[in-house]
Amino acid sequence: MEKQPFDRLNNFFSRHKKLSFKKGEIILRMDDEPKGVLYLKKGYTRVYSLAKNAEELTLLMFKAGDFFPMTWTINSTYYHYYLEAITDVELYQAPREEFLRFIKNNNNVLFEITSRVLTRFGALLSRMEHAILGNARSKVSSIILILAERFGKKGHRGIIIQVPLTHQDIANLIGVARETVSIEIEKLQKKGLINHKGRYLVIKNQEKLKEESVIESID
């Protein structure tokens, strides 16, 4: 029986160097030259930029099965961001040229990678649209929906976002103040649309939350 693309990717990286990082550790720093392609075996990471005033903006988040830094891997471009462990993580590190040969010889893996890239691109377009045109309500609602699509798991109480996120983490994703996120989260909770299960957000009413994320038209 032919192996699934995810299994092939996992088997390829499992033959290479294993790395571990604790929650909060920086895996790559801005303008570091990566030592190889990193594959996330366990845990969650984030890519963020840092302004001169030390304000952070989270650009991407990764889960098990993702590899990075993608632009450096495919296009040999410099890595201009920070990569941080959101939780304790386990990684594999493979030589770039060996990985490129692997995906060129495995079309089904390359197709799976392309599909993931396009999914993230769609999420980035939505975030950009809300960042420019949305208000605080739509920004917070939309990012919760995006997180649910990427990291959510359906349970009997709703969709659980399986990444432990603080209000500051969400603020870093949408470029607003933490206090603003806290206010909007409280409003959504009072409406019965979301809730908390420990450190995790739970979406109780996805359809109503989608209504909250709609950008109001400008007359």
CATH of domain 5-116: 2.60.120.10
With a CB cutoff of 8 Å and minimum separation 6, the contacts of 93 are 16, 17, 18, 19, 35, 36, 37, 38, 39
Residues carrying CATH 2.60.120.10, the chain: 5-116
Distance between CA atoms of residues 162 and 188, nearest Å: 19
**Per-residue DSSP letter, 4:** P
Strand intervals (E) in the chain: 17-21, 26-28, 37-42, 45-50, 56-62, 67-68, 82-85, 89-94, 152-155, 158-161, 194-197, 200-203
- pLDDT tens digits along 65-86: 999 998 899 888 877 899 999 9
For position 1, what pLDDT does the model report? 40
pLDDT of residue 21: 98
The closest alpha carbon to 40, from 149, 154, 116, 121, belongs to 116
Residue 76, phi then psi, degrees to nearest 5: 60, 25
Fold exhibited by the domain 135-213? Arc Repressor Mutant, subunit A (1.10.10)
Residue 117: pLDDT band (50, 70, 90) is confident
Going by the DSSP 8-state scheme, the letter that residue 219 receives in this structure is -
- Say what the pLDDT of residue 24 is: 95
DSSP-based helix, strand, coil % in the chain, nearest 5: 45, 25, 30
Domain with CATH 1.10.10.10 in the chain: 135-213
| Angle (deg, nearest 10), helices 107-133 and 5-13 | 100
Residue 136 Cα distances to 130, 144, 176, angstroms: 9, 12, 8
pLDDT higher than threshold 60 for residue 218: no
Q: What pLDDT digit, counting tens, does each position of 6-19 carry? A: 889 999 999 999 99
Query: In sequence order, which residues have a C-beta less than 8 Å from that of residue 213 and are 6 or more positions away?
Result: 130, 134, 138, 141, 142, 145
Q: Give pLDDT tens digits for 31-53.
A: 888 999 999 999 999 999 987 77
